Structure 1
Amino acid sequence: MSDTRLGWKDVRDRIHRMILTGRYGPGDKLPRDADIAEELNCARSTVQRAMQDLSDSGLVERRRKGGTRVRPDPVTRATFDISITRHEVEQTGAAYGYQLIGATQEVPPRGVQAVFGQKIAQPMLRVQALHLADARPYILEDRWICLQTSPEILSLDLTGISANEWLVLNKPYDRLDMRFYAENADPARAGLLGTAPGEALLVIERTTWIGDAPITTVKASTAPGYRLRSQS
């Protein structure tokens, strides 16, 4: 058995190949997540993340207490991974930069509580940060992190690593909600993003959970000219 642990994308690709080669056909039930994790020598959470991606892409369907089956009528959907912004910038050939604007423990406003679908009475960590590409504003993040599911983040130096990167690498999720919309830049955001007040911005909101427990929600305002890529 190899000592090298597979990442969730490796697990996803292996299961995908099993479906494409006919090992598991339409309607077939896949092994339990725990059994796949044992076979592939990886964490169960890694398998869960891989299965969620296959479900999001329309290849399998997952039901609570019903297991995972190959869909009899696979559908194709555009899918969006949560990327590490540093990698996203570097893949364009630009130099990545990062500025922490603030990190404070606060009771979230009702709007954030509503996003999580429950009332969060306890404080959460609010992190505001600016990602740069070639020293120019790229993405402005306003993020809330649940300290019950991510208490370790309080010990991190967020001036050295972004909350985005740490969460992607350390906090697998099993549910993701994502919204895209345009919003006019208010003076504060315009100043940070280096644009004029009233300029139309692409805003990406993402919220993740593990089970019923929230992990994080972030409002990412992108600089004019930002391009979003998807895969299908």
Structure 2
Amino acid sequence: MVEKRRHSWMEIRDSIRSMILNSTYGPGDKLPRDEEFALQFGCARSTVHRAMRDLAQSGVVERKRRGGTTVRRDPVTRATLDIPITRLEVERRGSQYRHRLLRKSVQPTPPAIMANFALSEPRDMLRVEALHLADNRPYIFEDRWICLETVPEIADVDLTRENANEWLVRNRPYSRCDLRLYARKATPSDQDVLQSHDGDALFVMERTTWIGAAPISSLCAVAHPGYQLFTQG
């Protein structure tokens, strides 16, 4: 007899949120009752209830006693950032994209990453250092920390073949994003990785994402000299 795998409330929450993001349920739509979702996912009603509570707290849905659950018409996450997929960014420029995994390891979070996630104590996370290339030249260097409790599936992803940036965008949508953009001068390590020169101004993007209260990823990305970020709203 094969035992059915138990779904965590976070998996249920992410599945329901994905249905909202892909417009299966649009703004103002009434969602199925918790009992119906529990039957659909093969889990306990309490698991769905916990997932729905988190979605409500993050401003994605609105729950009313005897009124059911609806997708918010003006969700808290309405001012979202479309995280760019670097591969597509490179290919749109007419360049050939490559990705190189430099290092991958599970480490305790250092103080800077703890501060990004507002953690009170260190937590083991997956650190991924990778280089995106355009026409075999350095394009963007990524130093990324991924929470294995929120994204356990990443442990089974071959990051030499699939880059973490694209995998996370496609598989782990966020409900909150902190973003910081600035420029700084190239350091010796930047010169080694990005083939920059002393005194070059480098574009730096620091981005930390959550789904509800659960941390997803904290990234520091450093782009090659002359990089420009273009976005449309």
Relative to the length of structure 2, the TM-score reads 0.70
The answer as to 2:108 corresponding to 1:96 is no
State the partner residue of 2:161.
160
Choose 210-219 or 195-204, whichever is displaced more.
Answer: 195-204
The answer as to 2:12 corresponding to 1:11 is no
Distance in structure 1 (CA, Å) of the matches to 2:31 and 2:115: 31
State the partner residue of 2:125.
124
Distance in structure 2 (CA, Å) of the matches to 1:138 and 1:191: 13
Distance in structure 1 (CA, Å) of the matches to 2:194 and 2:130: 11
For 1:78-227, list aligned pairs within 5 A: 80-227=81-228
Unaligned 5+ runs, structure 2: 1-17, 42-47, 53-58, 65-69
- CA RMSD of the aligned region, Å? 3.1
Deviation, 1:117, is 1.2
The answer as to 2:29 corresponding to 1:31 is yes
Unaligned 5+ runs, structure 1: 1-5, 16-28, 49-60
- 1:20-40 C-alpha deviation (Å, 9 max, x unpaired): xxxxxxxxx8234668xx9xx
Contact persistence 1:131–1:139 (CA under 8 A): yes
Contact persistence 1:80–1:231 (CA under 8 A): no
- 1:155-177 C-alpha deviation (Å, 9 max, x unpaired): 22211111111111111111111
Distance in structure 1 (CA, Å) of the matches to 2:95 and 2:106: 33
Distance in structure 2 (CA, Å) of the matches to 1:170 and 1:153: 10
Length, aligned pairs only: 188
Identical aligned pairs, as a percentage? 44
Distance in structure 2 (CA, Å) of the matches to 1:94 and 1:7: 34
Distance in structure 2 (CA, Å) of the matches to 1:63 and 1:178: 24
Residues 197 and 210 (structure 1 numbering): CA distance in 2 closer, same or farther, change over 3 Å?
same
Contact persistence 1:106–1:125 (CA under 8 A): yes
Deviation, 1:214, is 0.2
Give the aligned residue type for 2:139.
Answer: Y
Deviation, 1:203, is 0.6
Distance in structure 2 (CA, Å) of the matches to 1:150 and 1:70: 28
Residues 63 and 182 (structure 1 numbering): CA distance in 2 closer, same or farther, change over 3 Å?
farther
Distance in structure 2 (CA, Å) of the matches to 1:33 and 1:221: 41
Contact persistence 1:126–1:144 (CA under 8 A): yes
Distance in structure 1 (CA, Å) of the matches to 2:89 and 2:99: 13
